[in-house]
Amino acid sequence: MLDVAGLRVSFGAIEAVHGVSLRVRHGETHCLVGESGCGKSVTALAIMGLLARGARRRAERIGFDGTDLLALSDRGMGRLRGSRIGMIFQEPMTSLNPAYTVSSQLTEVYRRHRGGTRAAATERAAALLGRVGISAPGLRLGQFPHQLSGGLRQRVMIAMALMCDPDLLIADEPTTALDVTVQAGILRLLAALQAEMGLALLLITHDLGVVARVAHQVSVMYAGEVVESAPVAALFARPTHPYTQGLLASVPVPGKLRRGQPLDPIPGSVPRIPPDFVGCGFRERCRFAMPACAVAVPLRERAPGHSYLCQLTP
């Protein structure tokens, strides 16, 4: 459904995304994970053609269900966005317009792409609000975003993304701003909707617990590159890139640590300005770094569908 190859995004002289490739199949959840600042959201915005003015996007291929998105005009891309490709943004309070009711915001997207009467669009909006677990949808339709809790606003965002029955849904950290119990409900909802509607889902998150629960395929990003990609079971059973190993080791697992025993974090932090992409971008933080890592870094295949960027062999 989505086939991205060699995606690069630069802001002036700085390249923030360097040769990202990923595929999301029909009915599959592909999780894009990594620390904040790794380029996950920029990757999603580049796929959607929503980069800020001044950003430069290049790629060998961005294909969506047989359509070459690189060849589409702004108008052509606008016809796909919101209809066949839905997007759920990170922060619902800033993504919903505070000056318009829930009804106006849901029906606008539907009528723009599908036409029809206001009454038909309102009927669909009410049905979808019910489907995403919002009680009293008639009442909610007449409310403004500030009258809703964070969880309800996120459910409204999901309903909006689904108004036109998309084939692909891109969800950028859809649970970050929510408390843990609400997060679980939203994730269950996304998983149920995906199974029911056969969606392809590209889910951006830094939460490995979320990945373990919902992903089929996982791509781990670091400093603008996908450093490891694998089916979810293989990634958790045989993490191969030192960054993936570090991410998994730094997750608290109940019963694994003794009382007072510290976690095992990855030293340092993601570079604020991406590296020059000569050699391995992780080498400043990697305990296995060797001189060859500063020169070049090969893409290796550990198993079919499981690849990683590193000098080390498993």
Site of interaction with ligand SF4 (CB under 6 A): 241-242, 280, 282-283, 286, 288-289, 293, 297, 310-312
Alpha-carbon distances, residue 12 vs 9, 52, 57 (angstroms): 10, 12, 11
- Say which amino acid occupies 36: S
> Closer to ligand SF4 at the Cβ: 64 or 308?
308
- At residue 222, the 3 state secondary structure works out as strand
Rounded least distance, CB 35 to ligand SF4, Å: 15
Contact call for residues 129 and 87 (beta carbons, < 8 A): no
Residues 82-115, buried b or exposed e (16+ Cβ, 10 A)?
A: bbbbbbbbbbbeebbeeeebbbbbbbbbbbebee
φ and ψ of 132, to 5 deg: -90, 15
What spatial distance separates the first Cα and last Cα of the chain, rounded to whole Å?
31
Rounded least distance, CB 37 to ligand SF4, Å: 18
> Closer to ligand SF4 at the Cβ: 17 or 286?
286
> Closer to ligand SF4 at the Cβ: 197 or 289?
289
> Closer to ligand SF4 at the Cβ: 189 or 312?
312
Rounded least distance, CB 98 to ligand SF4, Å: 45
> Closer to ligand SF4 at the Cβ: 110 or 222?
222
